[in-house]
Each structure stands twice: as structure tokens, then as C-alpha cells.
Amino acid sequence: MATLLVLVLVYTVLGGMISVIVTDYIQFVVLSAGLLVATGFCIQNLGWQPVFDTIVRLKGEAGFNPLAKGNGFGPSYVVWMFFTAGLVSCAIWPTAVARALAMDSVQGVKRQYLWSSLSFMIRFLIPHFWGICAFVFVMTKAPNLQTLFFPADPEAKSLDNLYAMPVFLGRILPAGIIGIITAAMIAAFMSTHDSYLLCWSSVITQDILAPLTRNRMSTESRILLTRIFIVMIGLYILFWGLLYEGSDEIWDYMAVTGAIYFTGAFALLLGGLYWKHASATGAFLALLSGMTAILGLDPVQRRVGLKYQDAGTGEWIQTLTSDQIGLLTVAFSLMVLAVGSLIFPNKKTTGLKT
């Protein structure tokens, strides 16, 4: 991980947006090939129809309907995913917006979103399909794995289900194909990090430091500071990745940590575009209120009492789920923007100035 991160730091610092776009395109090609090859082996090993038949037999309606009882999702989770994976990923998430702002025309932005939406949908669906296939494989073709992931003894500790998919792929893929899939995963790792490094370092330089100097910084100074922040953010990513030990599901962890930023940013965007009385102070307060999304992380919930262990049964009881906390944070940020703008209005109420 450290070696890959250093490599990403090098080409991002040297090439900026151009290197990010070029390398992301190449990595996307590698990733697409890996996804398609692995999916073909999954279908060949399990069969297309048996996958669905097994899910029907073992999960019933809950295997297909996220609103059905017993699948751990529910309406609040569906709404939260629509907000995070739908609206936020295209309109608010900085890496997507940075690419849009780098385009030279409105038509170019529209074409970019049109074609990239297809790749995003494919990259969402295929890994989910692998996870489904891993479940079917464990339950129908690997009794030794079934005892590990689903032990008959209720007191026995089950293996973390995050290991199911890599174990499944390791069982069905030939050695050379495993190399291709590994390269695809490395490509996904790198293309994710370079976008974030460039985006956030640019935000710090252009939107925080430059205004503090009243935009007196030269272009050379801005580029130098951006490169310095790329390295600093990269070191922070490495430190946090090695230090943090949470029990959240990976996807939920990403949604919660991202919500610290995008819940306040959503309120800012909505108020700035559609409410003429939105003020700069209200916007700052809304961004700060997004910090409450951190209550969705499992270690934080245990510390503040939102998740506690029943004295009798020993089971962990969760007062509010992470998706419910995320939705509450969105509503709270909107309320803070409205109240803050009314109490601290701009001198000229012509809309939020960016």
C-alpha cells in the first residue's frame, strides 16, 4: 500500500490533472478487462440461473428487495444510498466536480457525465455480483467455508464476510487470471487516490489559502503549494489507514466519512442556488454541522452511547443506524443554513456568494 501510494504521489505531483486523466483512462481499461474476465469465470463456475435460484431458496424476497424485512437495509438505507450514490456522486463529490470544472464547454460536461455514468453503473454492479456469487459458492460448493462463515455453533466466532469474495475468486480463477484481477484492483486503488490527492490539495490552495492572501499568490506559488499538500495528504492517508481500526462495513464507512463533507456541502449548494437569503455565515455553519455525521462510525457510537451492549444477552444494540444518522445530518445542515442565514444575513441578500 505504501509503495503504491508513493507511486501515485509521484505522478500526481509531477503531472497534475493531465497525468490524472491519462493514467485514470489506462487504469480504467485494465480495470474493465479484469472485471469482465472475472465475471465470466464466476458465471462459468456457478451457472447463470443457479445463482438466482440459490438466492431465492436461501434469502427469498429479501435477496432481491431492499425494502423486505430481514435483509438489514430498509427504507432509510435506500433513501440514504440514493442521496449518496446518486445525487452526491455527480453533483457534489469534489473529484467528479473537479473534472467537470476542467472541461471547456457545457456540452463537454454533459457528454462526460453521460458516458461516465455507464462506467460508474458497471463498476457498482459487477463487484456486487461477485459478492452474490461468493455467497452462492460458499453455501453450495464449499462446505468447509460454510462452517467458517456460518458456523453451526452460535457461540463460535464467524469469519469476517469481507473475506468471502477474495477467497471465492482465489478458488475459481487460474493463476494468470488472478494476476490480471490483481492488476485491476491496483488500478482501481491508484485511480481513486490520484483524483482525491489532486482535488483536495487544489481546494486547500485555491479556496482557503488564496483568499486569505487576497489572491496575491502567483501561479508558481499555487502550483508549489498544491504539490506540497498532495504529499501531506498522501502521508495522512497512509497514517490513517494504518492507525484506524473500525468494525464498520467498508461501504458504510466510506459513506459516513464522506458525509462529514457532503451533507454540509449539499445544504450550501441548495441554499446558494435556490434561496436568495442564504448567507456566507449560514454556509460556514452548515459545513461545520456536517461534522455530526461522524456519529455514524461504530467506534464513535460506542463511545457516546448510541450503541451499547445489553447486560443480559451481551448483544450490541444500536439506537440509530449510520444511514439514519446521515439523513438526520442532512436535515440538520439545512436547518443550520436557514437559521444561520436569517440570524447572520449578508449585507446584500442577493444570494450566497462563492
More confident site: 118 or 282: 282
Task: Give yes or no: residues 190 and 253 share one domain.
Answer: no
Report whether pLDDT(44) > 80: yes
Determine the pLDDT at residue 247: 64
Determine the pLDDT at residue 246: 65
Residue 222 within a domain = no
Report whether pLDDT(349) > 50: no
245 C-beta neighbours (distance < 10 Å), count = 6
Report whether pLDDT(192) > 70: yes
Residue 219 within a domain = no
Domain boundary among 178, 194, 210: 194
Report whether pLDDT(288) > 80: yes
* Per-residue pLDDT tens over the stretch 249-279: 777 777 888 888 888 889 988 998 899 899 9
Task: Give yes or no: residues 103 and 186 share one domain.
Answer: yes
Residue 214 within a domain = no
* Per-residue pLDDT tens over the stretch 181-190: 888 788 777 7
Report whether pLDDT(50) > 90: yes
Task: Give yes or no: residues 316 and 171 share one domain.
Answer: no
Residue 66 within a domain = yes
Domain boundary among 131, 159, 194: 194
Instruction: Dig out the grid coordinates for 25 from the structure.
Output: 483512462
Task: Give yes or no: residues 257 and 327 share one domain.
Answer: yes
Task: Give yes or no: residues 306 and 185 share one domain.
Answer: no
Residue 213 within a domain = no
Determine the pLDDT at residue 352: 54
Number of domains into which the chain is organized: 2
Report whether pLDDT(62) > 80: yes
Average pLDDT in the 53-71 region?
86
d(CA 259, CA 256): 5
Task: Give yes or no: residues 190 and 284 share one domain.
Answer: no
The average confidence (pLDDT) of the chain is 84
Task: Give yes or no: residues 133 and 256 share one domain.
Answer: no
* Per-residue pLDDT tens over the stretch 136-154: 999 999 888 888 888 887 7
Residue 205 within a domain = no
The upper half-sphere exposure of residue 83, i.e. CA atoms within 13 Å in the direction of its Cβ, equals 23
Residue 353 within a domain = yes
Task: Give yes or no: residues 175 and 263 share one domain.
Answer: no
Average pLDDT in the 110-119 region?
81
Residue 73 within a domain = yes
Task: Give yes or no: residues 161 and 25 share one domain.
Answer: yes
* Full-model pTM: 0.75
Determine the pLDDT at residue 153: 79
d(CA 141, CA 63): 19
Backbone φ and ψ for 309, nearest 5 degrees, come out as: -100, 125
Task: Give yes or no: residues 338 and 268 share one domain.
Answer: yes
Determine the pLDDT at residue 120: 76
Report whether pLDDT(110) > 50: yes
> Range of 23's domain?
2-194
Domain boundary among 194, 228, 258: 194
Average pLDDT in the 241-253 region?
73
Report whether pLDDT(351) > 60: no
Task: Give yes or no: residues 183 and 320 share one domain.
Answer: no
248 confidence band (pLDDT: 50, 70, 90): low
3-class secondary structure for the chain? Answer: CHHHHHHHHHHHHHHHHHHHHHHHHHHHHHHHHHHHHHHHHHHHHHCHHHHHHHHHHHHHHHHCCCCCCCCCCCHHHHHHHHHHHHHHHHHCCHHHHHHHHCCCCHHHHHHHHHHHHHHHHHHHHHHHHHHHHHHHHHHHCCHHHHHHHCCCCCCCCCCCHHHHHHHHHHHHCCHHHHHHHHHHHHHHHHHHHHHHHHHHHHHHHHHHHHHHCCCCCCHHHHHHHHHHHHHHHHHHHHHHHHHCCCCCCHHHHHHHHHHHHHHHHHHHHHHHHHCCCCCHHHHHHHHHHHHHHHHHCHHHHHHHCCEEECCCCCCEEECCCHHHHHHHHHHHHHHHHHHHHHHCCCCCCCCCCC
Average pLDDT in the 194-198 region?
83
Report whether pLDDT(48) > 90: yes
Task: Give yes or no: residues 173 and 267 share one domain.
Answer: no
* Per-residue pLDDT tens over the stretch 291-336: 998 888 888 888 888 887 777 777 778 788 888 898 999 999 999 9
Report whether pLDDT(96) > 90: no
